[in-house]
Structure 1
């Protein structure tokens, strides 16, 4: 928390976050053009934001792209604001990310969280349908597992209708899963691609979700990923099921 407050306590760093909120996935050069300071000064500010987990970076070819990571801010709101003030709506910025592709194109949607758990526990929670059903924000029935290319997991609403299916395209055990994202809601059900990146850190696990080729007409996906990550983090750290279900309009 201290790192977040410190990172926000500077107008230049807030301006960088505002810029990424408007246009995610910018290079250092893009950001430098917006601030009246040296390139080195902008790099220092970006480093502080990255240390506070308010941005994440992704390298593609010769370029390094910067993305807003709103999850720490959501956690701050949940802990310090939400108990005292019930918001009419809680919205995460639409974070853009992509998965690693053969063309080395830059991501346009990415989201990261850190979880206090073991490597094996996180991998099991992501790949076994019966475990996903314990923390998913909307589906308490999840069929299938993800162990090899071609495997699929089906997410079912409580009334039995399909919400989503993930089909494994490629998998690197305990490290990376590339999936076809096939929605069962809305008018546009065009498949897209998503990736789980699992990394061990000195104090726990880092989980990153990247999404690529997401049609503009498929709304609410960013919010859904935020709720998914909050659910798996809570379940792994506390052992308790908590579904971060979308708030219904009153």
Structure 2
């Protein structure tokens, strides 16, 4: 937690985070152009942010791309900031182009998130693939059903909100899936995307990485939904309690 607050204390590092909040997946060269300092200076600031897990990176050929990882910051808000406030803190910080057949090459993700969860690899795999488990920690759905390789998420009034169809599984380590939002209703054309879960066991805990690809324009808010879902997943696995990190109710 100390590393997070230390990382946020510097205005240059906040500028880098704001830039990734506006457009995720930028290279070192792109980020260097934002600050009046040397490339080495920007690399040092990025190193602090990476150490605090506020940025995660992904290498593609000769280039390394940087992604905002808002999950640790959301955890800090939930743990240290919101309990001190009368009103909940605002969480401002946050179609498939081709048919998926067999193994589809991964392009550069639109955003990435990582979180450490104190649980076994088996428990995390079960939580990500079991319908009842998904319903327990997803921040907005009331039920989830499995039909073959599809997880169907339902609202309290039993309407279909989201369908995620698994396209490739590597048992206990990787899940590739489509992401089909239905919350806008049948009158709105379906604009699907895809995501990947990557599980890395590390002694007595697991590192979970989420990568989301092919995000259509206008669906940028999905990243905030993922933050809330992953926070619920971590809480459920570590405490056994169902906590829905829902959006704050609108003031009258």
Residue in structure 2 matched with residue 227 of structure 1 by the alignment:
228
Three-state SS of the structure 2 residue aligned to 1:53 is coil
Residue in structure 2 matched with residue 119 of structure 1 by the alignment:
121
CA distance in 1: counterparts of 2:204 and 2:92, whole angstroms: 29
**Per-residue deviation, 1:158:** 1.7
CA distance in 2: counterparts of 1:105 and 1:241, whole angstroms: 34
With 26-35 and 119-128 compared, the bigger mean Cα shift is at 26-35
Q: Is contact 2:135-2:142 (8 Å) kept?
A: yes
Residue in structure 1 matched with residue 28 of structure 2 by the alignment:
28
What is the TM-score of this pair, normalised by structure 2?
A: 0.87
Cα distance per residue 1:64-97 (max 9 Å; x no partner): 000111122222222222112224743343xxxx
What is the TM-score of this pair, normalised by structure 1?
A: 0.88
Query: Which runs of no fewer than 5 residues in structure 2 stay unpaired?
Result: 95-102
Q: Is contact 1:163-1:185 (8 Å) kept?
A: yes
Distance 1:48 1:34, change over 3 A: same
CA distance in 2: counterparts of 1:202 and 1:41, whole angstroms: 34
CA distance in 1: counterparts of 2:249 and 2:170, whole angstroms: 38
Residue in structure 1 matched with residue 154 of structure 2 by the alignment:
156
CA distance in 1: counterparts of 2:41 and 2:202, whole angstroms: 28
Distance 1:203 1:54, change over 3 A: farther
Q: Is contact 2:109-2:214 (8 Å) kept?
A: no
**Per-residue deviation, 1:41:** 2.4
Distance 1:87 1:101, change over 3 A: same
Three-state SS of the structure 1 residue aligned to 2:250 is coil
**Per-residue deviation, 1:217:** 3.0
Q: CA RMSD in A?
A: 2.0
CA distance in 1: counterparts of 2:34 and 2:155, whole angstroms: 45
- 2:51 maps to 1:51: yes
Q: Is contact 1:116-1:204 (8 Å) kept?
A: yes
